[in-house]
Amino acid sequence: MENNLNLIESFSEFKEMKNIDRVTLMSILEEVFRSMIRKKFSTDETFDIIVNPDRGDIEMYHNRTIVDDEFAEDSFDFDPALHVGLTEARKIDSDLEIGEEVTVPVTLNDFGRRAVLAVRQNLVSKILELEKDNVYKKYKDRIGEIVTGEVYQIWKKELLILDDEGNELIMPKNEQIGSDFFKKGDAVRAVIQRVDMKNTTPVIILSRISPEFLAKLFELEVPEVFDGLITIKKIVREPGERAKVAVESYDDRIDPVGACVGMKGSRIHGIVRELRNENIDVINFTTNPTLFIQRALSPAKITTIKLDEENKRAEVYLKPDQVSLAIGKGGHNIKLAGKLTGYDIDVYRDTDEDIEDVDLEEFADEIDSWIIDELKAIGCDTAKSVLELSVEELVKRTDLEEETITEVHNILKSEFE
C-alpha cells in the first residue's frame, strides 16, 4: 500500500508540471509501466494500461486466455503471461469456459517493492529529461527575443536569473553593461543570446550588450518599428557609452528618426534609461556613402570628405572646433561611425590659414582634460598662447612636469606644421 501511495504522490507532482502537455505525460507514464511489466512477464501485449491524470493514478489489467488445467500444469507451451487455467479462472467468475478471455486488475504490490522503486526512479528520470528537452526547444526558438527574469544568485563571473516558470537563465559578466549593478530579487531585462547543451542540461545565455537587445527595445518602444513601417538597417554599440542606429522607412509620410526619438525624446528616453544612460544616435540610412558617413559622424559638421571606395577608407576634413565632436569622448563617436558605415575614417583639421589659432579644447582627444584645465588656469586657452611660452616658463607657472609640457608642445606644434 505504501508503494502505491509513493507512486501516486510522485504522479501528482508530475501532472503539475507546466512544460509537459497531458498527452506526452500519459504516454511516458504508460511506457514506464509497460517496461516494468515486460521485465516481469517478458511481454506487455496482454496488458491494458489506463492513465488517469485527473485522479493522479493508473489502472492496469491483465487479459489471458482460459486453457484446461492439464495444459496449464504440464504443457511447455503454457505461458502465465498469456494463459490461465480453468480452475484459476473460475475463482474469478464461475461461469467462465475454456477459450474465453478473462481480465483481472493488476496492482503495484503484484510487482514487489524493488520494482516499484525502480519505476519511480525511471519516471523521475524520464520526466526530468523531457523537462530539459522542452526548456531547450522553447528557448532555442526564442533566441533574439527579450526575456524578463528575477536575479536569484550573484556570482563573480555571472548572474543566475529565474524566469516566471522557474527556469534558470545565465547572464555572464561580459554580457552585462559595464555600469550594470543588480541585487538579489531585482527584475532584469535581457535578450536571449544563445542556448547551449551542457551535460544534457540546457544553458540559456542572456545578453544586455548585443545589438539585438537594443533592436528589441526599439520594437517595444516604437510601434512603427514593431509594425515594420520603420526598418532598423544596422546597430553598432559601445555598451553603456554610445550607440548608433541606422533606420529607414519605405513610407515617405513617416520620418523614421523622428518616430524613433518621439516627441521631446519620449520614446528614446525609456531605452536610454534601460541601457544605463547609453547615448543613442538615430540616423537616417542611405546608400550614398558620403552622406552616410556625414550623418554617422553627427553631431560634428563636416567640411569635405574624400572617399577611397576600393579600400573602404574616408578622409574627413572638419573645422577645428568640430574635430573633438567627430572623435567623441573616448573616441567612441568615430569608432562607431566607422563600424556603422564600413569605412576606416581618418579625421583632419581643415585650416584655411596657417596663422589660424586653435582652442585648446579641440585637442581633448590627444591631451588629458586636467592638463588643459591647468593651462587654462594661467590664461593659456589656445594652442598659440601655450607655444608662446617656453617649457621652463610653463613649468614655473603650472604644477605640470617638464616631460608633460614638452609632450603638449610637440602636439600643438604639429597642428601648425
Render pLDDT for 335-356 as a digit per residue (tens, 0 to 9): 999 999 999 999 988 765 445 6
Q: Is residue 290 part of a domain?
A: no
Report the alpha-carbon distance of residue 102 to residue 252 in Å, rounded: 80
Q: Which one is predicted more confidently, 378 or 9?
A: 378
Residue in this structure with the C-alpha cell 568640430, named with its chain if needed? 322
Q: What is the pLDDT of residue 284?
A: 95
CATH number, domain of 6, equals 3.30.1480
197 vs 98: CA distance, rounded Å: 57
Count of structural domains within the chain? 4
Q: Do 161 and 220 belong to one domain? A: no
Q: Is residue 293 part of a domain?
A: no
**193 and 219 both lie in a single domain:** no
**375 and 268 together in one domain:** no
Domain boundary among 258, 283, 308: 283
Write the burial class of residue 271 (CB in 10 Å: 0-12 exposed, 13-18 middle, 19+ buried). Answer: buried
Residue 402: is its pLDDT beyond 70?
yes
Q: Give the whole-angstrom CA distance, residue 213 versus residue 308.
A: 33
Cα–Cα distance between 411 and 395 in angstroms, integer? Answer: 17
Mean pLDDT across 397-416: 88
Calculate the average pLDDT of the chain. 87
Confidence of residue 66 (pLDDT cuts 50, 70, 90): confident
The CATH code of the domain that includes 229 is 3.30.300.20
Q: Which contiguous run of DSSP H or E holds residue 207?
A: strand 201-207
Contact 241, 330 (CB under 8 A): yes
> Model-level pTM?
0.65
Of these ranges, 43-52, 231-240, 354-363, 368-377, the one predicted with the greatest mean pLDDT is 231-240
> What sign results for the dihedral spanned by CA atoms 318, 352, 363, 407?
positive
- List the strands of the sheet with 313-318, edge to edge: 302-308, 313-318, 344-349
- 133 and 6, same structural domain? yes
Q: Tell me whether residue 59 is in a domain.
A: yes
Q: Which residue has the higher pLDDT, 202 or 109?
A: 202
How many CB atoms within 10 Å of residue 170? 17
Mean pLDDT calculated for residue range 163-169: 91
pLDDT at 23 over 50: yes
Asked if residue 1 has pLDDT above 90, the reply is no
Sheet holding 242-249, edge to edge: 230-238, 242-249, 279-284
Point out the domain boundary residue: 137, 170, 197: 137
**254 and 156 co-located in one domain:** no
Last residue of a domain, one of 116, 137, 158: 137
Q: Do the domain assignments include residue 343? A: no
Residues 107, 24, single domain; the answer is: yes
Any domain includes 119: yes
368 pLDDT higher than 80 = yes
Q: Greater confidence, 159 or 85?
A: 159
Neighbours of 145 (CB within 10 A): 12
Kindly tell me if the per-residue pLDDT of 118 is higher than 90.
no
pLDDT for 203: 95
Regarding whether 111 and 51 lie in a shared domain, the answer is yes
Bigger pLDDT: 363 vs 145: 145
Same domain, 112 and 48: yes
CA–CA gap between residue 162 and residue 169 (Å, rounded): 6
Is residue 256 pLDDT above 90, yes or no?
yes
Taking residues 145-159, report their average pLDDT: 95
* pLDDT of 223 over the 90 cut: yes
Predicted local confidence at residue 187, as pLDDT: 95
Give pLDDT, residue 153: 95
Overall average pLDDT of the 313-326 stretch: 89
Answer with the residue of higher pLDDT: 9 or 266.
Answer: 266
**Which among 226, 189, 233 has a CA at the least distance from the CA of 208?**
189
Does residue 168 belong to any structural domain of this protein? yes
Q: Is residue 323 part of a domain?
A: no
Is the pLDDT confidence value at 6 over 50? Answer: no
Q: Are 18 and 40 contained in the same domain?
A: yes
> What confidence score (pLDDT) does residue 313 get?
94
Per-residue confidence at 404, pLDDT binned at 50, 70, 90?
A: very high
**Is 294 among the domain residues?**
no
* Domain harbouring 197, CATH code: 2.40.50.140
**CB-based contacts of 329: which residues, under 8 Å, 6+ apart?**
241
What are the tens digits of pLDDT across the range 87-108?
888 888 888 888 888 888 888 7
Does one domain contain both 37 and 103?
yes
Which residues does 244 contact at the CB level (< 8 Å), separation at least 6? Answer: 235, 236, 237, 280, 281, 283, 296, 336, 337, 339, 340
CA dihedral 83, 84, 90, 95 (to 10 degrees): 10
Same domain, 51 and 115: yes
Domain range for residue 274?
213-283
Predicted confidence band at 7 (pLDDT cuts at 50, 70, 90)? low
